[in-house]
Amino acid sequence: MDKVKHIFSALLILGGSATVQFGCMTGSESQVLKYTTYTASYNISLYQVERPVKATERYGIQNVDTILGNSKYKFSFEDDMVKILLFAGSRDVTFSLENKTEHSIKIPWDEAAFVDETGRSHRVMHSGVKYTDKEKPQAPSIVVRKGIYEDIISAADYVHWDESGGNTAGRWAEDLTCPRFMYQPEL
C-alpha cells in the first residue's frame, strides 16, 4: 500500500490532478479515486519604489514600468544610479541590478527585508546562501561600477527542515503554505 501512495503522490506532483485506479487485479473489481487540485493566481505589479526624501535631486527622476513581451523579467525601475529588472514569483524574486555609476554599490543582505502583503517583514536569503546558513550573517554582494548583478531572493523563514521523511533522516523543504498565507488579523 505504501508503494501505491508514493506512486499516487508522484502522479499528483507531475500531473496536478489525477484519477488513479488500484485494487486487486482479480476480475474487474477496482476502485476509482478522484482528487481535485486547486490553484490560485495573483496579479502582481510594481507601482512604487521607496527612496529618500530628496532622492530626485541626487539620483534623478524615477521610472517604474511593466515589461511587455517575452522577457524573463516583468517589471523595471530606473533612475540615474541603477536600473533594476525583476520578476516576482510565488515564493521568491528574481532580479537584475545594473549599476549605472562610476562607483561600486553594496547590497547589505543583513539589512534587506522581504515584506509580505500583510506587512510582515522577513529576513532575506539569496541564491548563494545554503539553507543551513539561512540565519547566519550574510556578506554583502558588490555590484562593480557599470556592472550588472543577478540574483534570486526569498524569505529565509519560507524554508524549513522536514523530519517527516519516513525512512530518511529528513530534508530541507520550501513551505507550501508560506507564513504570509497563514496570517490571521487581530479582531
- Give the model's pLDDT for residue 101: 94
pLDDT digits (tens, 9 = 90+) for 131-169: 888 889 999 999 999 999 999 998 888 776 666 656 666
Q: What are residue 10's phi and psi, to 5 degrees?
A: -65, -40
CA 73, CA 151: separation in Å to the nearest integer?
A: 12
Question: The C-alpha cell of 19 is what?
Answer: 484519477
pLDDT digits (tens, 9 = 90+) for 3-34: 433 333 333 333 333 333 333 344 455 577 77
pLDDT digits (tens, 9 = 90+) for 43-94: 677 777 778 888 888 889 999 999 988 888 899 999 999 999 999 877 788 9
CA 81, CA 70: separation in Å to the nearest integer?
A: 26
